[in-house]
Amino acid sequence: MNIRFDGQTVIVTGAAHGFGRAIALAFARLGGNVWACDVNRSGLALTEQQALEQGTALKVRMVDVTDREMVRTFVQEAGTGERLDVLVNNAGGVLGQVGRPLEEISEEDWHTIFRVNVDGAFYFSQAAAPLMKARHFGRIVNISSGAGLGVSLTGIQAYASAKAAQIGLTRQLAHELGPWGITVNNVAPGFVRSNPTTERQWESYGEAGQRRLVENIALKRLGTSDDIAAAVLFFASEYAGWITGQVLGVDGGK
């Protein structure tokens, strides 16, 4: 299976570290014209540097995925020439929150997580759809979480709910955009030590908790950001042309 993206324009959100960085670098290695965005300037610079070190290049932009107009402007810039082939909605996370009792959660705590994890994916998909419809081709891949399919290890109510909502958005958009040859799929990662937040989460479990987590995985090991990127590459490739509205759990087996 030879997957290439030569000549294709690819947008990856949340590309300053972890999954987003791995996904952006992978598309660049395979010939994609990659536009990577985040709100983390220093992280984006490192992603750009790593692209150069692997002998490729990508364009980076500071974009707040919760700002609808900023999203629209960025997508129009990336789609200059009226071409946008792949959109990866990876931006998300817990935004520094930790698990707390339900009654302690403020309105802002709840909505902040939804704005990044759900609104951002909606805004980007909304901005990308006209470009994809015009060419009767497109691939949208959303990155959710095992938390959206079950119970979140973080204990954060808004995170579990937002990721479940993003999965619902994936299925709805798959049916709406299918007539234009646009597929919309979802990758639901298991626990991966991919960024500062997951590192803190890992450390919080202690040695015994870490051992239990790994033992509950069928393959008896944690995954990597490259494992997640591989699933995204498949959904974006020609080999997934008749697959849409699907959620792929990439979690080592539960």
pLDDT on residue 254 = 83
Q: What is the pTM of this model?
A: 0.96
pLDDT on residue 72 = 98
In this structure, is residue 4 part of a structural domain?
no
In this structure, is residue 89 part of a structural domain?
yes
d(CA 234, CA 166): 20
CATH number at residue 32: 3.40.50.720
In this structure, is residue 136 part of a structural domain?
yes
Could you write out the DSSP letters of every residue in 33-86? EEEEEES-HHHHHHHHHHHHHTT---EEEE--TT-HHHHHHHHHHHTTTT---E
In this structure, is residue 215 part of a structural domain?
yes
In this structure, is residue 207 part of a structural domain?
yes
pLDDT in tens, the chain (254 residues): 799 999 999 999 999 999 999 999 999 999 999 999 999 999 999 999 999 999 999 999 999 999 999 999 999 999 987 899 999 999 999 998 999 999 999 999 999 999 999 999 999 999 999 999 999 999 999 999 999 999 888 899 999 999 999 999 999 999 999 999 999 999 999 999 998 888 988 999 999 999 999 999 999 999 999 999 999 999 999 999 999 999 999 999 98
In this structure, is residue 253 part of a structural domain?
no
In this structure, is residue 1 part of a structural domain?
no
pLDDT on residue 244 = 98
In this structure, is residue 3 part of a structural domain?
no
Q: Which range of residues forms the domain containing residue 94?
A: 9-248
Structural domain total, the chain: 1
Tell me which residues are annotated as active site: 159
d(CA 88, CA 74): 14
